[in-house]
Structure 1
Amino acid sequence: MIRRFFRHLWESILSLKRNGWMTIAAISSVTITLTLVGVFASVILNTAKIATDIENNVRVNVFLRVDSTDNQETTVNDMGETVDNENYHVVYDQITELENVESVTFSSKDDQLELLKQKMGDTWSLFDGDANPLYDTYVVDTSSPDVVKTVAKQIEKINGVAKVEYGGVNTDNLFKLAQNIRIWGAVATVLLLFTAVFLISNTVRITIISRSREIQIMRLVGAKNAYIRGPFLLEGGWVGLLGAVVPALLVYFGYDVAYRGLNPSLIPQNLSMIDPTYFIPAMIIALFVIGIIIGSFGSVLSMRRYLKI
């Protein structure tokens, strides 16, 4: 059994050499197809990843009333004395007790103004001090994006809250867009793989047709179907393996360049592409596996008509 396997392996290698131009054509077809698979899969998977990140970045902004002292441990009474604040964290505690609330972070109106200055320029310096029209805010992170709307409605009912924002209709549309990207991305990936199977199988079939006489001679001398099929199965695997080399190299070098060029601009927005430490090896392995499987089974399926009695 082992001896037969190595015989078939050696015959498959010699066959690749004997059928030089057809072998090159088959490998080229696999290379082009797997390159498209690698590029489109990388784009689709990273688009879905960024869409998920955008979803996860949606937060509930809770604006406190102008006179709120919810985040002040002490306050000044009518006598001018500093005393403990009886209303300290009244709103905060009610928010944290809600189901699906993971964390609550306080952001003062002065912090909000500083953020506006960084984004919009020093024009907002006019509102420093008592002229600041902004609100003290609690930024609420939920356990999942799906519950943001529900949590926002619950917080609106809490006494001491001026208003609540989570994006409203825009956020709902964002969730739908992210879901559509994931669904259509998966559909596009599957269709691309089916296209790859079709193209590679047809290319392998051409090489089989060109060697139909060789198959018929082997049958005439009494060779069994399994014996005839063995070298072609391995030969198809070699074609898929060799055809995956160039796409694997493109993924290895190209994705790293794309990651270093694009990811820095995404990080400030709490977005990120898929980490190349995990993505590149997984994608390379997937390309080789797809190439070998499609090449091998393409050979077997293409030979069926020549092995029928």
Structure 2
Amino acid sequence: MIKGLRTFLYELKYAFVGMKRHIMLCFSAISAIGITLLLIGSVLIIGLHVNYFSNDVQKDLSIHVVLNEDIVDEASIEKVKADISKIKNVSKVEVSDKDNELELMIKEKGEAFKAYRGDANPLSNAFFVYVKNASSIRKTSAQIRKIEGVSSTAFGGDSVTSLVEMLNMIQKIGLGIVALLILLSLYLIYNTIKTTIDSRSDEIMIMRTVGATNGFISNPFIVEGIFIGLLGSVVPYLLVHFGYEKLYESLDGKLFTPMFSLFKPSVIRFEVGLSIIFAGILIGGFASLFAARKYLKMKR
């Protein structure tokens, strides 16, 4: 245990010595990583909200299925319901009898329709069908329309499906941007550690001569990369921590309408803030590991 502690302290000291010797290079890498992690944090915040908005829209999106006038008994209604439930994209089917349909019409079109309550109700029984994937709602609606006993189907229309498709596209673009930014971060730290290793080639040769293992030689560089990534994540974390809180307060917790409610600052601080810190540490560690292993492999 004492030996392990001594080794760790040596690696820590050696990492700091390396950073001190190449302070301008490290500062440049830390600055670049900081900007990259800030962009990653911004994209993550946008992505979280887009995903939340998309799920919220899809959760309430349904197909209104009107049955034929002769579908009145419970057995016939249940048969049509079972046929609809077999469609892959269907997640839930709710029955809306003719009386409920009339009440919805009264609520939507006015109290004049109250005159049709009771035996005068001309409406048919219906279903509200909820889907798993809102982007396929048009196809699902067409499949339901073909089922025997179904008179007509209706859903939110092109505007709703276009909104869902747009939100899904933004999510995919966001993931692509995050992937590119992570690759850029890896490249920046990789080059920094590679330059540091090249400048210490004589020291590495001496250590190899006295029998030092590859792990003993490469560990200080990995620690150095972790520190660069960690230091680079500090400013982005603080900007996300305080910046989002100010944004949340200035927008009163919503984006344009209450329908698009923003995440509370505590959620963003925890999920995005910690993601930035862990991303900095992991990117720094892995980039340094790749650089050290590649160098040691070439110089066998």
| Same fold by TM-score greater than 0.5 | yes
Deviations 1:3-54 (A, max 9, x none): 2112211332344345433332222122112111111232234323323332
Residue in 2 aligned with 1:294? 283
Unaligned runs of 5+ in 2: 116-121
How far, CA to CA, are the matches of 2:195 and 2:21 in structure 1? 15
**Structure 1: runs of 5+ lacking an equivalent:** 69-86, 115-127
AA partner of residue 129 (structure 1):
A
2:254 aligned with 1:264: yes
Answer yes or no: is the 8 Å Cα contact 2:144–2:153 preserved in 1: no
Q: Percent identity?
A: 24
How far 1:240 moved relative to its partner?
Answer: 0.8
Give 1:157 deviation, angstroms. 6.5
* 1:217 corresponds to which of 185, 194, 203: 203
- Residues 148 and 24 (structure 1 numbering): CA distance in 2 closer, same or farther, change over 3 Å? closer
Distance 2:95 2:235 in 1: 49
> CA RMSD, aligned part only?
4.1
Report the CA distance shift for 1:184/1:113 in structure 2 as closer, same or farther (over 3 A). Answer: same
Q: Which residue of 2 aligns with 1:244?
A: 233
How far off is 1:284 after superposition? 2.4
Letter matched to residue 299 of structure 2? K
Instruction: Say whether the 8 Å CA contact 1:205–1:298 is kept in structure 2.
Output: no
- Whole-angstrom distance in 2 between the partners of 1:243 and 1:205: 18
Q: Distance in 1 between matches of 2:126 and 2:264?
A: 32
Cα distance in structure 1, aligned partners of 2:261 and 2:77: 31
Give the secondary structure class of the aligned counterpart of 2:254.
helix
Worse-matched range after superposition: 234-243 or 6-15: 6-15
Q: 1:154 aligned to 144, 148, 155, which one?
A: 144
Aligned pair count reads 271
Paired with 1:262 and 1:197, the residues of 2 have a C-alpha distance of: 37
Query: Shift of the alpha carbon at 1:250?
Result: 1.9
Choose 232-241 or 288-297, whichever is displaced more: 288-297
Instruction: Say if 2:108 is the partner of 1:112.
Output: yes
Contact 1:30–1:240 under 8 Å retained in 2: yes
Q: Are residue 22 (structure 1) and residue 25 (structure 2) matched? A: yes
For residues 137-175 of structure 1, give each alpha carbon's deviation from its aligned partner in whole angstroms, at most 9, with x where no partner exists: 9672415245744357536878796x5321345555455
Distance 1:286 1:246 in 2: 14
User: Deviation per CA, 1:220-264, whole angstroms, max 9, x where unpaired?
Assistant: 364534333222221111111111111112222233444452753
Take 2:27 and 2:42, find their aligned partners in 1: how far apart are those partners? 22
- Gap change, CA 1:300 and 1:238, over 3 Å in 2: same
Are positions 1:308 and 2:299 aligned together? yes
Q: Deviations over 1:108-154 (max 9, x none)?
A: 3231136xxxxxxxxxxxxx63699xx97967241524574435753
TM alignment of 1:1-309, pairs within 5 A: 1-2=3-4, 3-62=6-65, 98-99=84-85, 100=90, 101-104=92-95, 106=100, 107-113=103-109, 129=112, 140-145=128-133, 148-149=137-138, 150=140, 154=144, 163-170=152-159, 172-174=161-163, 176-209=165-198, 212=199, 214-220=200-206, 222=209, 224=212, 225-259=214-248, 261=251, 263-265=253-255, 268-269=258-259, 271-273=260-262, 276-303=265-292, 304-305=294-295, 308-309=299-300
- Label 1:42 to 1:288 Cα distance change in 2 as closer, same or farther (>3 A): same
Larger Rg: 1
